Homo-oligomer: A and B are copies of this chain.
Amino acid sequence: MVAKRTVSEVGEFGLIGRFTEGRVQPVSTLLGPGDDAAVVAAPDGRVAASTDVLVAGVHFRLDWSTPEQVGRKAAAVNLADVAAMGAVPTALLVGLGCPPDLPADVAEQVAAGLWAEASRVGAGVVGGDVVSAPALVVSVTVLGDLRGRAPVTRAGASAGEVLALAGRTGWAAAGLALLAAGRETPPGPVAAQRVPEPPYRAGPAAAEAGATAMIDISDGLLADLGHIAEASGVGLDVRSSALPVPPELAEAAAELGADAVSWLLTGGEDHALAATFPADAALPDGWRVIGRATPGAAVTVDGEPYAGPAGWTHFT
């Protein structure tokens, strides 16, 4: 049996060669990896940009996820951020910190996961940096194209508008609870924890359909709706009947003695999109009404404050 080579043995330039070899860049990549900077098309004269960092032991565990899943998740959480502005992702840049004794294959599979997820939306991995670090760190910056539209911020909602959701909530939180309990079934939530499935195309579609405010649900539905409420100066009321408990979450909750409704309302990491639309707007495919914007200032469920932790914040 041959010992696997470490990132230290393969070296910085060897790793970069492995990450970039054979990759096909989209046409929006005007200059790809290999120079001091990449050059990416920004056809309408603006670029949307966001950064999210994933750290081993904090955001993922290599005994719970494959390196390829880690790469896909790192890409997904970023791609969802530009989608939430109504933009179409064009490029990822990746800062990869690796312990020197990490098998080079692991780093390579993280890169493969980043590429796999980026390719789903037509984006390329256009550049990055590989450094030594005490833990595996995947810092991703995503660029996106607004296609001539105004960005859909958190600040445009008005009372009387409908509140809508694209994608799902509670699945990744249920998967985390299952993995923490040493379980791998039901498989749906576990898979959702390993790799989220953000509704990327629903972001630009919502912008096109006149969404007035939009956010990526990363920390939990109620917590992230709180950001729209605060930025827009509105209340947001979620109708619980619009969020039925899916069978797999009911099964997971029964197995763990947990509360599936709490997962739906406060679980993070699924990267659904929530948006407000004018009351008479025709919602695009993938969007469903889950409530409405009100004259208040709070996020409520069926008109009442929700009694429970609202979601995830770092360091607290």
Are the CB atoms of A52 and B95 closer together than 8 Å?
Answer: yes
Please list 26 pairs of residues, one from A and one from B, whose beta carbons are closer than 8 Å in the complex, sorted by A's number.
Answer: A11-B316, A36-B82, A36-B215, A37-B50, A37-B81, A37-B82, A37-B85, A37-B151, A38-B48, A38-B50, A39-B46, A49-B126, A49-B143, A50-B93, A51-B94, A52-B95, A55-B97, A58-B131, A59-B131, A95-B141, A98-B315, A129-B139, A130-B314, A133-B137, A134-B135, A141-B141
Chain B residues closer than 8 Å to A42, beta-carbon distance: 42, 45-47
* A220 CB–B CB distance under 8 Å: no
Instruction: Given contacts A49-B91, A55-B133, A95-B141, list 20 more A-B pairs with CB under 8 A.
Output: A10-B315, A11-B313, A11-B315, A37-B142, A38-B50, A39-B46, A39-B85, A39-B151, A49-B93, A50-B93, A51-B95, A51-B127, A52-B129, A53-B96, A53-B131, A58-B131, A97-B137, A100-B315, A130-B314, A141-B141
- In chain B, what residue has the closest Cβ to A203? B36
A39 near B50 with CB under 8 A, answer: no
How many copies are assembled?
Answer: 2
Per the bound structure, the CA–CA distance linking A174 and B40 in Å amounts to 37
Report yes or no: A133 in contact with B58, Cβ–Cβ below 8 A: yes
For residues 121 through 168 of chain A, which have their beta carbon under 8 Å from a beta carbon of chain B?
126-135, 137, 139, 141-144, 146, 151, 153-155
A57/B134 contact (C-beta < 8 A), A37-B81, A40-B46, A315-B8 known: yes
Checking B37, B57, B143 against A144 with a beta-carbon cut-off of 8 angstroms, the contacting residue is B37
Report Cα–Cα, A44/B41, bound state, in Å.
9
Q: Is B216's CB under 8 angstroms from A36's CB?
A: yes
CA distance A93 to B82 in the complex (A): 14
> Which residues of B are found within 8 Å of A154, using beta-carbon distances?
34-36
A202: Cβ under 8 A from any B Cβ: no
Structural contact, B315 and A53, CB atoms closer than 8 A: no
Chain A 1-37, CB within 8 Å of chain B: the 1/0 string? Answer: 0000001111111010000000000000011001111
The answer to whether A264 has its CB under 8 Å from any CB of chain B is: no
Indicate if A84 sits at the interface (CB-CB under 8 A). yes
Q: Is A303 an interface residue (CB 8 A)?
A: no
A187 at the B interface (CB under 8 A): no
* Distance between A141 CB and nearest chain B CB, rounded to angstroms: 4
A87: min CB distance to chain B, Å? 7
Which one of B129, B137, B316 contacts A12 once the chains associate, using CB atoms below 8 Å?
B316
State whether A51 and B139 are in contact (beta carbons under 8 Å apart), knowing that A42-B45, A85-B37, A315-B12 are contacts in the complex: yes
Please tell me if A43 contacts chain B, counting CB pairs below 8 Å: yes
Q: B35 to A153, Cβ gap below 8 A?
A: yes
Q: Are the C-beta atoms of A315 and B132 separated by less than 8 Å? A: yes
Which residues of B have CB within 8 Å of A93?
49-51, 141
Q: Taking A8-B316, A315-B7 as contacts, is the C-beta distance between A128 and B51 under 8 angstroms?
A: yes
Q: In the assembled complex, which residues on chain B have CB atoms less than 8 Å from the CB atom of A52?
A: 95, 129
Are A49 and B59 in contact, with the CB atoms below 8 A? Answer: no
Partner pick for A95 among B44, B53, B100, B214, CB 8 A cutoff = B53
A6 to B, closest residue via Cβ: B315
